[in-house]
Amino acid sequence: MSLYGTMRTGVSGMNAQANRLSTVADNIANANTTGYKKASTQFSSLILPTTGGAYNSGGVNTDVRYSISAQGTFTYTNSSTDLAINGKGFFIVQGSDGQEYMTRAGAFTPMDDGTLRNSAGFTLMGYPYSSTEDPTIVINGFAGLEEINLASGELNVEASNSGYLHVNLPSNEAHPYTKSTSLVAYDSLGNTRKLDFNYSTTATPGQWELSVTYTDPDSGNIYDMLDTPPSVVASAAAATTEALSFDTTGKLVSPTDINTSGMTIGGGVLNPLEISIGGASGGSTQLAASFAAKGDIDGIGPSGVTGYEISDDGIVFLKYENGDMAPKYRIAMANVQSPDNLKPLAGNVYAQSPDSGVVVMGYAGNGGYGTIISGALEDSNVDIAEELTSMIESQRNYTANSKVFQTGSELMEVLVNLKR
């Protein structure tokens, strides 16, 4: 047995325990770091071949592993931009270097420019939201992502496209009888445009006539909105009418919808509107009761952002002063085949490594990705009691290995002194 080998083995053991103590120190230091995943030191023996009957002591190798796939507990907060992932996946964030990274640290705060950044200065990324189709995802890369910006919709305008108007027309009124009601629509500039719906009896029982007009407040012109394009008429009574037919139970038989024409007013465009007035689910009636009306038209006038909400599938909604909510972004998520082999970087972020597998993109709540919890943060998965136990074990083992080195050194000194 070589005394040099003995000392070398003792040094190997001390280095191994020093590595273990380093991971313990990191884990304890980051016990309260949002989304932190603990590191652990794994040991493997180093065996040297025996030659000539003499045993050659080897040593120990260490390998640091990260429990990145282990879910942490949740701490709930009062901020809707604090985000946690319940399940698999990572947020995509961009660093100051312009590169994208993955992270579980979701303590995002709105900045002056409207972006969302976490405590390490990384910006949350996502895709613009579309109600008609999902954005094209580059499955194995980050192309197409953009910064989620809560200030991008500071003032919101949405032109009207459709609505409904359900009325009761009194069947016990003598002919001729006329009654009007109004609905407000929004043009492309957010201006309100009041449409008048004029109901009149006809000589035929169970049948009424409906005209739709718009009176320009600037010129005083009355426009026939059932004409294509809308034409100026002398009065509402001269406008085009639509015949309304009711059955013997007082329910509207036809038509079920009224379509008005679009027009340009004061630089803005009032879209063609589809107004539901009847149908299988209910609608206008002709009963022996007073005239009554209820209805609404979609659209949003100029309205400022007052807040935001994030759904569990990662859709970011902006809340406006008028109470409307508009989806603007969808938070992107990523995963790899072997999360524990990702490369940890400063700022509690991860990058793809040769052993992790390629990055696969997706959305929260589908494709095996977890859901997003708004108003919560994922805690570190460090167990302090376990780390303190590891620290004590490492301290003992380090001391024992130092004794091996010390003993080998003393024997080496005896061997050197034999010559004297």
Instruction: Give the per-residue pLDDT at 139.
Output: 64
- As a whole number of angstroms, the distance between CA 406 and CA 412 comes to 10
The whole-angstrom separation of Cα 256 and Cα 170 is: 19
The torsion of the CA quartet 23, 24, 29, 30, rounded to 10 degrees, works out to 70
Report the pLDDT value the prediction gives residue 104, as an integer from 0 to 100: 95
pLDDT at 137: 64
Q: Are 73 and 36 in contact (CB under 8 A)?
A: no
CB 271 within 8 A of CB 262: yes
With beta carbons less than 8 A apart as the criterion, state whether 291 and 167 touch.
yes
Give the pLDDT score at 2.
74
Q: How far apart are CA 242 and CA 402, in angstroms?
A: 99
What is the distance between the alpha carbons of residues 48 and 213, in angstroms, rounded to a whole number?
97
Spatial distance between the Cα atoms of 109 and 40, rounded to a whole number of angstroms: 31
d(CA 342, CA 31): 20
Helix (H) or strand (E) holding 183: strand 178-186
SS3 at position 206: coil
What pLDDT sits at residue 294? 93
The percent helix, strand, coil of the chain (3-state, each to 5) is 15, 40, 45
Among 385, 372, 387, residue whose Cα is nearest residue 74: 372
* Domain extents in the chain: 3-67+381-417, 74-156+304-378, 160-298
Q: Which of the 8 DSSP states describes residue 130?
A: -
- Indicate the DSSP class of residue 236: G
In DSSP terms, 308 is beta-bridged to: 318
* Spatial distance between the Cα atoms of 149 and 126, rounded to a whole number of angstroms: 10
Which residues contact residue 330 at a Cβ distance below 8 angstroms, ignoring those fewer than 6 apart?
A: 126, 127, 128, 129, 135, 313, 314, 315, 316, 363
pLDDT by 10s per residue, the chain, length 420:
577 778 888 888 899 999 999 999 999 999 999 999 999 999 988 887 777 767 777 789 899 999 999 999 999 999 999 999 999 999 999 999 999 999 999 999 999 888 999 989 999 999 888 766 665 666 667 888 899 988 765 667 889 999 999 999 999 999 999 999 999 999 999 999 999 999 999 998 889 999 999 999 999 999 999 999 999 999 999 999 999 999 899 999 999 999 999 999 988 999 999 999 986 557 899 999 999 999 999 988 887 778 889 999 999 998 887 777 888 899 999 999 999 999 999 999 999 999 999 999 888 988 789 999 999 999 999 999 999 999 999 999 999 999 988 888 888 888 778 866
For the domain 160-298, what is the CATH code?
2.60.98.20
